């Protein structure tokens, strides 16, 4: 044996091509199901928001709205990323950085809304958490800016 595959092995056979074709179809099917579940989850979050909508105060309404809508935005961005992969069969990291930034902004907004209704003596942990989250959002924004292709100024799809 000189390290070359024998002509009679399964690697050179039609079975390999059929197996790869089957796995490719299975992969696409899984991505389609995943995109559908992202869309279904976004609809469920909107429905849950509308079903449990209680306008006790302006702060509660804003906090609940931001929380639900930013979750929907993240789900839609993940669905978009999945669909982009199905169209191009290339992985793109930018949408994941965007989802991370949206999640960070969501956390900042929720922290700020919660801080308005809690005791003012707990300000230091709040400031640490807010600063850390803001730093993460900043790092993700810088990573997105650095890694964005030079030829795509504003077009995403």
In tens, the pLDDT along 93-134 reads: 888 888 899 889 888 888 887 777 666 666 777 888 889 999
In tens, the pLDDT along 43-99 reads: 999 999 888 877 777 767 777 788 888 899 889 989 998 998 899 888 888 888 888
Distance CA 137, CA 143 (A): 10
Q: For residue 101, what are the domain limits?
A: 11-147
The yes-or-no verdict on residue 157 having pLDDT over 50 is no
Q: What is the SS3 assignment for 119?
A: coil
Q: Helical H runs in the chain?
A: 14-51, 58-88, 94-115, 123-147
The answer to whether residue 152 sits within a structural domain is no
The answer to whether residue 153 sits within a structural domain is no
pTM of the entire structure? 0.66
Distance CA 68, CA 77 (A): 14
The answer to whether residue 5 sits within a structural domain is no
The answer to whether residue 155 sits within a structural domain is no
Answer for the pair 114, 74: CB distance below 8 angstroms, yes or no. Answer: no
Q: Which one, of 99, 82, 100, lies nearest residue 36 by Cα?
A: 82
Q: Which two tokens stand for residue 74?
A: 């993240």
Query: Per the structure, how many domains does the chain have?
Result: 1
The answer to whether residue 6 sits within a structural domain is no
């Amino acid at each position: 044996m000189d390290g070359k595959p024998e002509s009679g092995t399964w690697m050179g056979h039609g079975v390999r091509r059929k197996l790869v074709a089957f796995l490719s179809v299975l992969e696409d099917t899984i991505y389609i199901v995943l995109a559908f579940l992202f869309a279904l989850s976004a609809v469920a979050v909107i429905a849950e928001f509308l079903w449990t909508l209680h306008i006790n105060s302006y702060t509660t309404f804003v906090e609940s709205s931001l929380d639900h809508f930013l979750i929907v935005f993240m789900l839609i961005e993940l669905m978009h990323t999945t669909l982009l992969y199905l169209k191009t069969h290339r992985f793109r990291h930018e949408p994941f950085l965007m989802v991370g930034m949206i999640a960070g902004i969501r956390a900042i907004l929720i922290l700020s809304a919660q801080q308005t209704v809690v005791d003012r003596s707990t300000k230091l942990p709040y400031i640490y958490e807010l600063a850390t989250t803001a730093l993460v959002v900043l790092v993700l924004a810088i990573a997105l800016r650095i890694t964005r292709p030079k030829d795509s100024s504003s077009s995403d799809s």
